[in-house]
């Protein structure tokens, strides 16, 4: 068909007869070659997609075989930590992080919660720092098992000038194995536990300053449970299994109207990653399109068009398909937090050099043992690392419970 069409076009052209005949003679071979390339590419792509899909399910199949009783995480904390690490940092790191933003949007529909949040002005005046610190505190509290796993698989390299951490695979022939635990690793694990406890204590310290009802606490917990299960099942590449769901306990949910400021402040953190007003408006439309009608009404957002809802949901659906069929499973956990502390030298914060006026929550930089987050989606708020007691609102800087790394660890040193 293509060859005949090409031949007729060439015969009707003004090219010399000899050139026309030469081109027409080549066209069938070109068409055949193109068909062969398309066919071979399609076969290769199909084989790759089959391979990816098979590999994608190997991890959860191993986990289900290892723990055939799905209720075991409810009774064994170590198993619960392992399963949580597998689900949140290997299988669904994007959706678990995205769910935090969707949960805050739904919490915006509770007037008793939004009233407290509005009084702090953190969501409206410091939305990016609030979002970043929230992510860091949650990761410090929940990534202990993943940090342990990562240290057995990866090696950190720190830029001596910027403190930026890059990761390379450990040499399997000469590097440590996950089954080999030396004295240094035991100290790191003890430090992981101390970091997790410090993060939880700091979160509790913040909340203890406000009159938060037990019902609001339970509603927050319920959203963390139910919305995570719902969003992963609907938009990611596979739903959570019963084994993975049993990391949680269920609470009761309730509903009430609220103001818009808390929801706008939450979305503002994501809008900070784009620059133009049009792009910021599109980011908001995506979130609004993903919200339930009741949540949208509670925060005072207009009902989106069908096209807006379709586009918002399609973006996540397409991403899930890409992960399922085109992306091989991770070879290491997706970590936000540093695997180990980095030692920074103290600097003179009173001179005029910008690099010596690093801020942590608006407060002067102090050296010593600090943690450098592994990626900065919301911007490099802590380019020279952070201490857990520095995270959170500025008025709480340096206050409340604190943690110091195990003193005889072997940190990476940065001048």
pLDDT at 311: 93
Q: What are phi and psi of 368, to 5 degrees?
A: 100, -155
Q: What are phi and psi of 386, to 5 degrees?
A: -145, 160
Let me know the angle formed at the C-alpha of 159 by 157 and 164, rounded to the nearest 5 degrees. 85
User: Is the pTM value of this prediction over 0.85?
Assistant: no
**C-alpha distances out from residue 132 to 43, 135, 254, 328, 394, Å:** 44, 5, 28, 28, 14
Nearest residue to 5 (alpha-carbon basis) of 37, 34, 36, 28: 28
Let me know the angle formed at the C-alpha of 18 by 14 and 19, rounded to the nearest 5 degrees. 60
CA–CA separation, 285 and 283 (whole Å): 5
Half-sphere exposure of 396 (CA within 13 A, CB side): 23
Residue appearing with tokens 């290491």: 332
**Regions of the chain short of the pLDDT cut 50:** 2, 5, 9-10, 173-176, 248-258, 349-362, 415
The tokens describing 317, both together, are: 């659906």
Residue 299: its H or E element: helix 293-299
Nearest residue to 219 (alpha-carbon basis) of 103, 377, 60, 135: 103
How confident is the model over 235-287, as pLDDT tens digits? 888 888 888 766 733 333 334 444 578 888 888 888 888 888 899 999 999 98
pLDDT at 215: 80
DSSP 152-197: HHEEEEE-TTT--EEEEE--TTTSPPTT---HHHHHHHHHHHHHHH
Q: Are 88 and 126 in contact (CB under 8 A)?
A: no
Nearest residue to 60 (alpha-carbon basis) of 199, 239, 201: 239
pLDDT at 74: 83
Nearest residue to 334 (alpha-carbon basis) of 162, 95, 28, 5: 95
Contacts of 105 (CB under 8 A, 6+ apart): 263, 266, 267, 287, 291, 295, 299
pLDDT at 139: 93
pLDDT at 351: 45
């Amino acid at each position: 068909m293509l060859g005949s069409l090409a031949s007729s076009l060439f015969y009707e052209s003004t090219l010399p007869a000899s050139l026309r005949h030469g081109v027409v003679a080549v066209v069938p071979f070109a068409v055949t070659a193109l068909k062969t390339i398309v066919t071979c590419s399609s076969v290769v792509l199909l084989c790759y997609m089959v391979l990816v899909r098979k590999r994608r399910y190997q991890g959860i199949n191993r986990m289900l075989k290892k723990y055939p009783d799905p209720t075991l995480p409810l009774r064994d904390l170590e198993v619960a930590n392992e399963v949580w690490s597998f689900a949140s940092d290997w299988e669904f790191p994007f959706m678990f992080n995205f769910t935090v933003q969707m949960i805050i949007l739904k919490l915006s529909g509770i007037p008793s919660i939004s009233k407290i949040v509005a009084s702090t002005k953190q969501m409206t005046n410091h939305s990016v720092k609030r979002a970043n610190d929230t992510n860091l505190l949650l990761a410090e509290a929940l990534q202990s098992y993943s940090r342990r796993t990562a240290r057995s698989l990866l090696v950190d390299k720190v830029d001596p000038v910027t403190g930026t951490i890059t990761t390379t695979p450990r040499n399997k022939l000469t590097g440590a194995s996950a089954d080999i635990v030396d004295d240094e690793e035991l100290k790191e694990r003890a430090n992981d536990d101390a970091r997790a406890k410090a993060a939880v204590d700091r979160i509790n310290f913040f909340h203890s300053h406000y009159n938060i009802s037990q019902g609001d606490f339970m509603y927050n917990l319920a959203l963390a449970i139910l919305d995570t299960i719902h969003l992963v099942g609907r938009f990611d590449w596979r739903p959570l299994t019963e084994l993975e769901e049993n990391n949680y306990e269920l609470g009761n949910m309730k509903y009430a109207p609220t103001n818009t400021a808390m929801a706008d402040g939450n979305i503002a953190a994501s809008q900070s990653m784009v620059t133009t007003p049009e792009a910021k408006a599109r980011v908001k439309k995506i979130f609004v399109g993903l919200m339930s009608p009741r949540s949208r009404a509670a925060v005072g957002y207009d009902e989106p068009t069908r096209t807006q809802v379709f586009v918002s949901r399609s973006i996540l659906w397409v991403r899930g398909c890409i992960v399922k069929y085109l992306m091989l499973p991770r070879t290491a956990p997706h970590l936000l937090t540093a695997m180990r502390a980095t030692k920074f030298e103290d600097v003179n914060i009173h001179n005029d050099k910008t690099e010596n006026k690093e801020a942590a929550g608006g407060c002067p930089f102090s050296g010593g043992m600090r943690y450098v987050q592994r990626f900065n989606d919301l911007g490099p708020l802590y380019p020279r690392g952070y201490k857990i007691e520095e995270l959170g609102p500025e008025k709480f800087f340096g206050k409340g419970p604190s943690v110091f790394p195990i003193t005889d660890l072997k940190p990476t040193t940065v001048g």
